[in-house]
Amino acid sequence: MDELKTLIRELEHQPPDSLARQRLRLLEEATRKPLWTRFPLAGRAARGLARTPGLPGLSGRRLALGGAVAVMAVVASLVAPTLIGSAVPAYAVIKNPDGTITIEFRDRFYIKDFHKRLQEDLRAFGVPTVVDLLPTGKMCKEPRARYWPEKENRALTEWHSRPDVLSFTLHRDRIKSGQTLVVTFAGSFDTEGGWDFKVAEGPVATCLPVNDPRVVQSSIPESSVLGE
């Protein structure tokens, strides 16, 4: 307890700019709009997830943090995030007091190679994970694994959004031995097929990029090349 108090005092004494930003974001839990009110293309996937039996409402609920100690406990468990520029984190992986994990994306466009760090971060939290990052309009050729039926996939139970931030809550205890969280990103999180979370039973094959039929290929700008 004394060590925690010391940590709190140290963090509250002139915190670095990036940490101050993270603390502010964690405390900004005021009204959140559903993602589909801002990004229509992502609406279909979001509304489909919201209709999944047994899942709580996905339009947003507040993250209850019991006082300054709980807030600092969450901040202290932040994995060092990938950075865009000098201060703004591209994403963060947060271990919550109840054992769940929150994954936050803080820029709508995915940056080159961030998925490798995200995969390492989730594995460090005890979640067997395979993460792939693809250009806009691409997807991994399926089947690459035997997946849980969507109606039984309760590892990811809710997500929230606010301007330039998309967050998912992951229940790592619902991913059993021999199962793997398979995550795919393409282009940006507000496009059709921009993100996909599945739970696989057994081995997962390497991702072979193919055209995503959900995306009109002719509508993709020639300059839309990942990492440029």
Specify burial of residue 191 (Cβ count, 10 A radius: 0-12, 13-18, 19+).
buried
DSSP at 30: S
Element (H, E) at 39: none
pLDDT digits (tens, 9 = 90+) for 104-155: 877 666 667 788 888 999 999 999 999 999 888 899 999 999 998 866 667 8
pLDDT digits (tens, 9 = 90+) for 172-189: 888 989 999 999 988 766
pLDDT digits (tens, 9 = 90+) for 184-211: 988 766 666 678 889 999 999 999 999 9
pLDDT digits (tens, 9 = 90+) for 81-98: 444 333 446 778 889 999
Q: What are phi and psi of 171, to 5 degrees?
A: -100, 95
Output the CA–CA distances (angstroms, integers) from residue 158 to 51, 54, 132, 161, 188, in the order listed: 12, 11, 21, 11, 19
Nearest to 152 by CA among 53, 57, 47, 51: 53
Give the residue extent of every domain in the chain: 2-219
User: Which residue has better confidence, 167 or 219?
Assistant: 167
d(CA 103, CA 118): 9
